[in-house]
């Protein structure tokens, strides 16, 4: 019984410290008013929607123009990975029901954009990382990977700056986005071997 109490005490203190760090990091990112920067962050955040169409479409088009069946297949896999990511992220949001930061800390966090009802995980971030990972796996070129992941990181940062996600939401989104693409590409490898 003492061991169980000790384990619960340690787990509880780690969880409290993590939540405190999550809030502190968000507050540092979200503080102060910078209208031009915030406008840029809104544009960055909203650019995810067209990027989710452009990523698979550009791979499909490149494959079609170059008569490259592998690249066309990569375009399809990218679309599937993004779709899987959206399903997982949406399912988790409605299962976990985490409040948005501006709702949880209304006196400390400024809401600078519209958002849905739940916070964890960040759907914008997960989608950006799913697309970046799929495009990187498709092209295997550093000069595609670096800007793709830089863009995905900028999207994650924008969600925190705009006050709609905690850093842990963004981290969760990164993991789900990358994992979705890795899973789809790995399953395709297994299917190709059969």
* 94-111 tens-digit pLDDT: 999 899 999 888 888 888
- Domain assignment present for residue 20? The answer is no
Q: Which two tokens stand for residue 134?
A: 């799929």
- Domain assignment present for residue 50? The answer is yes
- Domain assignment present for residue 158? The answer is yes
- Domain assignment present for residue 117? The answer is yes
What is the band of 50 on the pLDDT scale with cuts at 50, 70, 90? very high
Q: Which two tokens stand for residue 165?
A: 């996600």
What is the CB neighbour count within 10 angstroms for residue 47? Answer: 17
Which one is predicted more confidently, 117 or 84?
84
Name the H helices within the chain.
Answer: 2-30, 35-46, 48-65, 69-96, 101-104, 123-139, 142-161, 167-193
Q: How many domains does the chain have?
A: 1
- Domain assignment present for residue 45? The answer is yes
What is the CB neighbour count within 10 angstroms for residue 124? Answer: 29
Q: Which pLDDT does position 149 carry in this prediction? A: 96
Q: Which pLDDT does position 181 carry in this prediction? A: 96
Per-residue three-class SS string for 98-119:
CCCHHHHCCCCCCCCCCCCCCC
**80-to-64, 85, 135 alpha-carbon distances in Å:** 18, 8, 12
Q: Rounded distance, CA 97 to CA 66, Å?
A: 46
Answer whether 135's CB lies under 8 Å from 187's CB.
no
Domain boundaries, position 84 = 34-193
Q: Which pLDDT does position 9 carry in this prediction? A: 47
- Domain assignment present for residue 28? The answer is no
Q: Which pLDDT does position 30 carry in this prediction? A: 86
Q: Which range, of 14-23, 82-91, 138-147, averages the lowest pLDDT?
A: 14-23
CATH number at residue 103: 1.10.606.20
Q: Rounded distance, CA 163 to CA 182, Å?
A: 29
Using DSSP, state whether 194 is helix, strand or coil: coil
- Domain assignment present for residue 17? The answer is no
* Helices first, then strands: H and E counts in the chain: 8, 0
| Segment 66-84, tens digit of pLDDT | 999 999 999 999 999 999 9
Could you tell me the pTM of the whole model? 0.86
Residue 12: pLDDT over 60: no
Answer whether 174's CB lies under 8 Å from 125's CB.
yes
Q: Which two tokens stand for residue 18?
A: 């993590």
Q: Which two tokens stand for residue 76?
A: 């399809």
- Domain assignment present for residue 103? The answer is yes
């Amino acid at each position: 019984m003492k061991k169980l109490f000790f384990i619960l005490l340690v787990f509880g203190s780690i969880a409290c410290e993590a939540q405190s760090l999550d809030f502190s990091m968000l507050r540092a990112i979200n503080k102060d008013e910078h209208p031009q920067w915030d406008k840029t962050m809104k544009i960055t955040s909203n650019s995810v929607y067209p990027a989710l169409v452009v990523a698979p479409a550009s791979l499909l088009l490149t494959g079609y123009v170059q008569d490259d069946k592998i690249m066309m297949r990569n375009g399809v896999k990218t679309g599937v990975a993004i779709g899987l990511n959206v399903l997982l992220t949406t399912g988790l949001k409605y299962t976990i029901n985490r409040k948005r930061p501006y709702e949880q800390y209304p006196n400390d966090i400024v809401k600078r954009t519209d958002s849905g009802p739940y916070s964890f995980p960040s759907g914008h971030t997960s989608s950006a990382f799913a697309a970046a990972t799929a495009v990187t796996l498709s092209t295997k070129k550093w000069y595609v990977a670096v800007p793709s992941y830089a863009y995905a990181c900028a999207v994650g940062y924008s969600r925190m700056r705009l006050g709609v996600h905690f850093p842990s939401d963004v981290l969760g989104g990164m993991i789900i986005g990358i994992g979705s693409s890795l899973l789809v590409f790995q399953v395709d490898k297994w299917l190709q071997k059969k």
